[in-house]
Each structure stands twice: as C-alpha cells, then as structure tokens.
C-alpha cells in the first residue's frame, strides 16, 4: 500500500507513520528527514534548504522533488511506502502523480490527520529533538532514549516559527485536502487524541 500523509505541522503524522511501519513494514519517506540529512551533510541542496527551514518557510518545489524522486526509486520503496511531508501543495501533487505513473505505481490513500491550531501550538512548542538520530520527545526529556544523544528545541519548533509554519500550511498545503478528496482517496482522522486511539482509526480507515 502506498500512502500520502496530510496534516499541519505537529498534527502527529510522523507518529502514525512510525506505527504503520512497525506493524506492516511500510517504508517511511519523510521529506523533513531527507532535508535534514542533506543539511547535516552540507550538500548543495542542504545548504539551499537550510535558510528556508530555519525561517519556517517551505523549501522550493524543485529541491524537494529531486530528493523524493531519488528516494522512491530505491529498491526498498517498492514494497509499499508512506510519504510524509510531500506533496505540500497542489503543483507538487500533480508532479507526484506524474512520477508515480512513470514508475507504474498507484497512490492508494491520502490520510489526513486533522488537529486544531491551538493543540498544535502546545504540542510543537514543547517538542524536543535528538541531535544525533532525530528522535522526538517532550521538553522533560533531556537525553535521547534511543541513542543517548542530546535533545534540543529545533528552530522550527519555536512559537514564532510555528505560527509562520501554520500560516504557510493554510495557504499552500490545505488545498491538497480538496485535491485528494476530488480523486476519491482522502481518508480523514481526528488527530487530537492519544496516538493509540488515532492509530486504531487509521487502520480501520485504510482497511488494515
């Protein structure tokens, strides 16, 4: 099964993707992870992307599309994948459809994790991320339980940046909901609950 995850920053998309990967073996393709890897490696794309990410703005389409195309062409992606963070706007969705068609791959569902803005602000402002492996946790966790690395607050998890990210989401990304609804593959779940409750509904919606 091939899935696109939709929802505002902090809606809990990554958590649900991780649960699906653990239970069903899907490949989780996070554009955020791909971009941070490129930034950490200091590649040309990474250097270009960093200025956008630090200010809470979306990385330009051509940079993201190049990374996604490379990742989808890797062998492990052929078993089924969850695309998290892409597409972020309707032109990207159209491009994705075209690329998948060239691979003779079908997009089975667009899963929307729906959460109110005030809930997201509280979630993200208290989130901390491991410098070493990218694991996320709440502010009371100072040492990564996965690798022992240092936990810190990313620039794009600070309140002022969160508001900018949400504004950008509403302008550029929210129209994707109607795009995929029009294609008949939109699945919507209430994400303002425990991760376990959300996951139960996710499996039901996807027929898993």
Whole-number pLDDT of residue 199 = 97
Distance of CA 53 to the CA centre of its chain: 14
- pLDDT above 90 covers a percentage of the chain that reads 43
Span 56-90, pLDDT tens digits: 787 888 888 878 887 888 899 888 999 988 898 89
Tally: H helices and E strands in the chain: 9, 8
Whole-number pLDDT of residue 133 = 93
Whole-number pLDDT of residue 161 = 85
Is the pLDDT assigned to residue 117 strictly greater than 80? Answer: yes
Mean pLDDT calculated for residue range 95-121 = 90
Mean pLDDT calculated for residue range 167-174 = 85
Instruction: State the catalytic residues.
Output: 13, 88, 127, 154, 165
Mean pLDDT of the chain: 89
Can you tell me whether residue 84 is helix, strand or coil? strand
Q: Is 193 in contact with 10 (CB distance < 8 Å)?
A: no
Q: Which residues have C-beta within 8 Å of that of residue 32, sequence separation ≥ 6? A: 14, 84, 85
Whole-number pLDDT of residue 177 = 93
Least confident of 16-30, 53-67, 163-177: 53-67
Q: Is 146 in contact with 135 (CB distance < 8 Å)?
A: yes
Kindly indicate the confidence band of residue 5, based on its pLDDT and cuts at 50, 70 and 90.
very high
Whole-number pLDDT of residue 157 = 81
Q: 151-152 and 127-130 as β-strands: parallel, antiparallel, unpaired? A: antiparallel
H-type alpha helices, the chain: 13-24, 31-41, 44-54, 61-72, 90-103, 117-125, 159-168, 175-182, 195-206
Whole-number pLDDT of residue 43 = 82
Is the pLDDT assigned to residue 164 strictly greater than 90? Answer: no
Q: Can you give the pTM of this predicted structure? A: 0.75
Mean pLDDT calculated for residue range 117-137 = 87
Sign of the Cα pseudo-torsion (51, 90, 203, 195, in order): positive
More confident residue, 11 or 85: 11
Neighbours of 21 (CB within 10 A): 14
């Amino acid at each position: 099964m091939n899935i696109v995850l939709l929802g505002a920053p902090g809606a809990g998309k990554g958590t649900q993707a991780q649960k699906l990967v653990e239970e069903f073996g899907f490949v989780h393709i996070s554009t955020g992870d791909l971009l941070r890897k490129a930034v950490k490696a200091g590649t040309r794309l990474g250097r270009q992307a960093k200025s956008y990410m630090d200010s809470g703005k979306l990385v330009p389409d051509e940079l993201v599309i190049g990374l996604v195309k490379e990742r989808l062409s890797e062998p492990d992606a052929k078993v089924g994948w969850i695309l998290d963070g892409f597409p972020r706007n309707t032109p990207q969705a159209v491009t994705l459809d075209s690329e998948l068609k060239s691979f003779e791959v079908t997009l089975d569902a667009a899963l929307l994790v729906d959460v109110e803005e005030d809930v997201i602000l509280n979630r993200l402002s208290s989130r901390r991320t491991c410098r070493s492996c990218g694991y996320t946790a709440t502010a009371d966790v100072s040492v990564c339980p996965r690798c022992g690395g240092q936990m810190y607050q990313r620039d794009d998890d600070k309140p002022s940046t969160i508001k900018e990210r949400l504004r950008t989401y509403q302008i550029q990304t929210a129209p994707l909901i109607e795009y995929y609804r029009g294609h008949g593959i939109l699945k919507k779940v209430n994400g303002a609950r425990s991760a376990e409750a959300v996951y139960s509904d996710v499996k039901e919606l996807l027929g898993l």
